[in-house]
With several copies, the nearest count.
Chain A
Amino acid sequence: MVSLKDLNTSKKITWCPGCGNFGLISAFKGALVELGLEREQVVLVSGIGCHGKMADYVNVNSFHGIHGRVLPVATGINLANPGLTVFGFSGDADCYDEGWDHFCHAIRRNVNITLIVHNNMVLGLTTGQTTATSQTGFRTKSTPFGAAVPPLNPIAHAIVSHGTFVARGFAGDPKHLQSLIVQATRHRGFGYIDVFQPCVTFNYLNTYEWFKQRVYKLEEAKHDTNDRLKALEKSFEWGDRIPIGIFYKEERPTFNDSFPQLKDKALVDMQIDNVNVDRVLQGMS
């Protein structure tokens, strides 16, 4: 089982001092230790953006892919080797703009992976433009007059996409976040956590303070995680109070379950040296 100190790499962390990613990475490392996983059981898939650097900073197997494609890569890994515990790390632009295509589809497939979205409501690495989740009025160099369009509500979309584990965390509360990550990972199916991750450099609106003043925990509010409509209602809550925690949870077959041929053996363990195709040839003769 990995220990915290095994999880560091030789890379110097280059996130801005105070960045929400620090809380996020410590929650993740803590979760890995808490889950008691061996290093060879874990794969981290990350996108392009500040969040993508997770691959450089956690000493486990990783696939640092292209912008927006965390989910299909993670899906491929999971199907090829369901024995691996796959974590996707994506950004708000990575997942809700460029990669939006894949989000709802991966969720409805209930791919057995965990997705953690570093939602800083801004394009961090490209120096601060609006994303799908930027607040209306948010001024950036690409929207000098303020973002005009209401933000996307990824939690609601995840619920509507038949999500089986839909949660939101806050990088400013790493302990709570760690517990969410552990639960999402133990969940059989798609464990999704949108994480409020303050970008101290480019997001002047959604600061630690802003979040701290607003977030409250659903579990403390006795929210029923089995009620889809209630979960949706909670997902619309956005103002003085913003919920974090688990919105919705359910059990249903994973994408893997739909392939009975994977039941006994992972694809990666199958013998391919001498595949017999005679039966197919017969049909052609």
Chain B
Amino acid sequence: MKNGDFSFLIGGEAGAGIARAGFLFAKACMRGGLHVFGTNDYQSLIRGGHNFYVARVSDHEVFSQMDFVHLIIALNSETVVLHKNKLAPNGGIICDKDDLSLTPEESSSGLKLYPVPMRKIVIEELKEPHNLIIMNSVALGAATAVTDYDLNLLTELLKETFKPEIAETNIKAAKIGYNYIKEHFEADFEHKLGKTAQPRKPRIFLNGNEAVGLGALRAGCKFYVSYPMTPTTGLLHFMASNERDFNMVIVQPEGEIAAINMAIGAAYAGVRAMTTTSGGGFCLMSEGLGMSGMTETPIVIMVGQRPGPSTGLPTYTAQGDLRFVIHASQGEFPRIVVAPGDVEECFYETARAFNWAEKYQLPVILLADKYVLESEVSTESFDMDKVKIERGLLIRDRYTESRVYGRYEVTETGVSPRAGPSTVGAVVRANSDEHDEFGLVTEDPAVTATMCEKRMRKLYYVKREMEERNIETVKFYSSKDAEATIISWGSTKGPIREAMKLLSAEGRNVNFSQVVYLHPFPKAKVEETISKARKIVAVENNNTSQLSSLIRDHVLRNVDHKILKYDGRPFNPIMLAEKIKEVL
């Protein structure tokens, strides 16, 4: 591994098991003690088309994929055509020997080719002509050999992943692929992974969806309801698979409107409830969002952004919904919007979201995107002790005060003691109409104004708690003699941190201010991080630079430059570093 860094790309048709194969090889790398970041690029189709998984493997922590790769594992010739320009010097390509369209054109182009008769192996040696998907195990075996990696790490994973018989075939396939390379090619590939040391600390390999799921499990989410929508479907699957072990109820309802209303019902009854969707589904949830705000029913909503407007590019990534989630639903009510930028934040912020929701009795929106939710990364296992369950003013079992219980008692903090409907001695009324302290409808102007203020006041106390407890609403990554401060939010974090490394290797330093909480906007902290900046550069996966608009709105300051990408793809670090240099 030159410079401690190695990237591979595995590509082929949808249905060829690309994502799984990429995941397995990447995970094998983690098992061998390396750091890994892997991400999946796929189209909105089930078979055919072109999918690829690209992963970066390193002996130091990695935050994103790289612009180039060292090894292409091509399950079809299209993969070579589409990606060969990404190949690093002395990179190699594993391809199917009998994919004839390849040989004449490519072999003469100086590419280092490792043709393996993958299809033939599956059909003739493994006798599985109807299971061509096994080609990818052959390819993974070959890749292990080319990179001189430990085959056991791979076979072990295959064993864990598949049912016994299927695992056996795949292991056999991997071994054949491995041996084929060892037998037919020189061991002269420059970008070897080599034998690796044992992992130092226990680590896990997971994507954002799973990290959010873990956070929800750990936070005691008991009711999860979601109508499938890319890129959040992975979380639905994760939650469903854990439903019984964790005594949860998972519902896939008739649509997103049902989803959010069910979640609100469950939360009213007293359990921690969550729903997830993407933009289109969130539109449908927006009326329910307002009801959560008005009835002061705590729920957590994860929104996985993808490029819009409308159906847009369902399987790609974007950050176009920031303003929408902040302002969605009629009228004014408090909400919290937090945008995790990596799996760690996905986990901790999800767990914390349930606390915010219950303590302040409001909806919390986790604003993620395809890139963070569906990219896998190796990370130190999370610290479960850091997650504390704080349920706020929750009355259990019996209400014993002498005054009549009022669900919407006007208090200094705006937060009213919350009883569940089975509380003896309390009649618990939630109301989407404007209401008095007892939840009875009102049209009185004074009560209306009071209740509006009561609800809005909660945001002030949220901000105060954030300050007092030193919540990292903004994370600041500083460099010495920074020429500028990058400001961004969400999943652009990874490529930005990689770009910073690249820039600093060239002696060009920038700071990075990651706004984690977008609403309530951490004005003071953002101001602090940008006030001394020589230049402010916003980096976002959208067209209008929505964060810049928030900064103008709250800090009354224009950013100096915007680097925007709205083609559905995440930033690549080198390209991003170049763009940053252009504006420095």
Direct interface between A and B, CB < 8 A: yes
CA distance A62 to B261 in the complex (A): 15
Within 8 A of B (CB), among A72-88: 72-81, 83-84
Tell which of B104-112, B117-125, B164-172, B235-243 binds the partner: B235-243
Decide if A101 is an interface residue (CB 8 Å cutoff).
Answer: yes
CB <8 Å contact, A268 and B432: no
CA distance A132 to B218 in the complex (A): 31
CA distance A279 to B241 in the complex (A): 13
Decide if B295 is an interface residue (CB 8 Å cutoff).
Answer: yes
CB <8 Å contact, A285 and B204: yes
Decide if B466 is an interface residue (CB 8 Å cutoff).
Answer: no
Residue in B248, B422, B440 whose CB lies within 8 Å of A268: B422
Q: Given A11-B441, A201-B46, answer yes or no on A79-B251 (Cβ-Cβ < 8 Å).
A: yes
Decide if A65 is an interface residue (CB 8 Å cutoff).
Answer: yes
Decide if B258 is an interface residue (CB 8 Å cutoff).
Answer: yes
Decide if A221 is an interface residue (CB 8 Å cutoff).
Answer: no
Decide if B45 is an interface residue (CB 8 Å cutoff).
Answer: yes
Specify which chain B residues have a CB less than 8 angstroms from the CB of A129 in the assembled complex: 228, 233, 236, 252
CA distance A76 to B253 in the complex (A): 11
Tell which of B141-149, B266-274, B457-465 binds the partner: B266-274
CB <8 Å contact, B223 and A60: no
Specify which chain B residues have a CB less than 8 angstroms from the CB of A60 in the assembled complex: 427
Specify which chain A residues have a CB less than 8 angstroms from the CB of B433 in the assembled complex: 64
Decide if A33 is an interface residue (CB 8 Å cutoff).
Answer: no
The size of the chain A interface, using a CB distance under 8 A, is 82
CB <8 Å contact, A62 and B430: yes
Decide if B384 is an interface residue (CB 8 Å cutoff).
Answer: yes
Distance to closest chain B CB from A209 (angstroms): 16
Decide if A5 is an interface residue (CB 8 Å cutoff).
Answer: no
Q: Given A62-B439, A75-B262, A268-B271, answer yes or no on A127-B44 (Cβ-Cβ < 8 Å).
A: no
Q: Given A79-B266, A261-B247, answer yes or no on A40-B228 (Cβ-Cβ < 8 Å).
A: no
CB closest residue in chain A, given B389:
A273
Residue in A16, A265, A272 whose CB lies within 8 Å of B219: A272
Distance to closest chain A CB from B376 (angstroms): 10
Decide if B71 is an interface residue (CB 8 Å cutoff).
Answer: no
CB <8 Å contact, B258 and A63: no
CB <8 Å contact, B233 and A73: no
Distance to closest chain A CB from B114 (angstroms): 28
Decide if B381 is an interface residue (CB 8 Å cutoff).
Answer: yes
CB <8 Å contact, B422 and A72: no
CB <8 Å contact, B246 and A132: no
Decide if B202 is an interface residue (CB 8 Å cutoff).
Answer: yes
Q: Given A63-B430, A64-B432, answer yes or no on A53-B441 (Cβ-Cβ < 8 Å).
A: yes
Residue in B222, B258, B424, B431 whose CB lies within 8 Å of A105: B258
Q: Given A63-B430, A73-B264, answer yes or no on A260-B244 (Cβ-Cβ < 8 Å).
A: yes
CB <8 Å contact, B223 and A267: yes
Distance to closest chain A CB from B153 (angstroms): 13
CB <8 Å contact, B46 and A16: yes
Residue in A78, A143, A275 whose CB lies within 8 Å of B246: A275
Specify which chain B residues have a CB less than 8 angstroms from the CB of A59 in the assembled complex: 427
Tell which of A22-30, A118-126, A181-189, A190-198 binds the partner: A118-126
CB <8 Å contact, A40 and B421: yes
CA distance A202 to B263 in the complex (A): 28
Distance to closest chain A CB from B35 (angstroms): 14
Within 8 A of A (CB), among B1-42: 14-15
Decide if B417 is an interface residue (CB 8 Å cutoff).
Answer: no
CB closest residue in chain B, given A61:
B421
Decide if A67 is an interface residue (CB 8 Å cutoff).
Answer: yes
CA distance A260 to B230 in the complex (A): 29
Decide if B49 is an interface residue (CB 8 Å cutoff).
Answer: yes
Q: Given A9-B440, A17-B47, A62-B429, answer yes or no on A76-B270 (Cβ-Cβ < 8 Å).
A: no
CB closest residue in chain B, given A57:
B440
CB <8 Å contact, B261 and A144: no
Specify which chain B residues have a CB less than 8 angstroms from the CB of A222 in the assembled complex: none
Residue in A38, A40, A41, A64 whose CB lies within 8 Å of B441: A64
CB closest residue in chain A, given B13:
A14
CB closest residue in chain B, given A276:
B384
Distance to closest chain B CB from A259 (angstroms): 5
Decide if A102 is an interface residue (CB 8 Å cutoff).
Answer: yes
CB <8 Å contact, A272 and B420: no
Decide if B520 is an interface residue (CB 8 Å cutoff).
Answer: no
Residue in A80, A102, A284 whose CB lies within 8 Å of B206: A284
Distance to closest chain A CB from B101 (angstroms): 16
Distance to closest chain B CB from A32 (angstroms): 13
CB <8 Å contact, B46 and A77: no
Residue in B14, B214, B251 whose CB lies within 8 Å of A277: B214
CA distance A97 to B258 in the complex (A): 10
CA distance A123 to B248 in the complex (A): 23
Decide if B227 is an interface residue (CB 8 Å cutoff).
Answer: yes
Distance to closest chain B CB from A208 (angstroms): 16
CB <8 Å contact, A101 and B258: yes
CB closest residue in chain A, given B272:
A272
CA distance A56 to B434 in the complex (A): 12
Residue in A64, A76, A83, A285 whose CB lies within 8 Å of B273: A76
Specify which chain A residues have a CB less than 8 angstroms from the CB of B420 in the assembled complex: 81, 268
Specify which chain B residues have a CB less than 8 angstroms from the CB of A67 in the assembled complex: 280, 311
Q: Given A14-B47, A64-B441, A142-B240, answer yes or no on A126-B389 (Cβ-Cβ < 8 Å).
A: no
Decide if B549 is an interface residue (CB 8 Å cutoff).
Answer: no
Within 8 A of B (CB), among A36-56: 38-41, 43, 45, 48, 50, 53, 55-56
CB closest residue in chain A, given B236:
A142
CB <8 Å contact, B240 and A143: yes
Distance to closest chain A CB from B188 (angstroms): 34
Residue of A65, A74, A76, A100 most packed against chain B (CB within 10 A): A76
CB closest residue in chain B, given A262:
B249
CB <8 Å contact, B220 and A272: yes
Specify which chain B residues have a CB less than 8 angstroms from the CB of A50 in the assembled complex: 45-46
Q: Given A17-B47, A53-B441, A63-B295, answer yes or no on A81-B270 (Cβ-Cβ < 8 Å).
A: yes
CB closest residue in chain B, given A60:
B427
Specify which chain B residues have a CB less than 8 angstroms from the CB of A144 in the assembled complex: 240-241, 243
Decide if B310 is an interface residue (CB 8 Å cutoff).
Answer: yes
Specify which chain B residues have a CB less than 8 angstroms from the CB of A55 in the assembled complex: 429, 431, 441
Q: Given A60-B427, A129-B252, A261-B249, answer yes or no on A76-B261 (Cβ-Cβ < 8 Å).
A: yes
Chain A to chain B contacts (Cβ below 8 Å), 24 pairs:
A11-B441, A14-B43, A16-B15, A40-B426, A62-B427, A64-B432, A66-B261, A69-B257, A72-B253, A74-B265, A79-B265, A80-B267, A100-B255, A101-B257, A102-B258, A129-B236, A267-B247, A267-B266, A267-B271, A275-B220, A277-B214, A281-B204, A285-B202, A285-B203
In the complex, given contacts A40-B426, A76-B265, A145-B244, what are 16 additional A-B residue pairs having Cβ atoms less than 8 angstroms apart?
Answer: A40-B424, A64-B430, A65-B261, A66-B291, A72-B259, A72-B262, A84-B269, A127-B46, A141-B240, A145-B243, A259-B243, A261-B243, A273-B220, A284-B205, A285-B204, A285-B381
- The 9 tightest CB contacts between A and B, nearest first, are A76-B265, A272-B220, A72-B261, A80-B269, A16-B47, A61-B421, A284-B204, A76-B262, A76-B266
Interface residues of B (CB under 8 A from A): 14-15, 43-49, 202-206, 210, 214, 217-220, 222-223, 225, 227-230, 233, 236-237, 240-255, 257-259, 261-273, 280, 287-288, 291, 295, 310-311, 314, 381-382, 384, 389, 420-433, 439-441
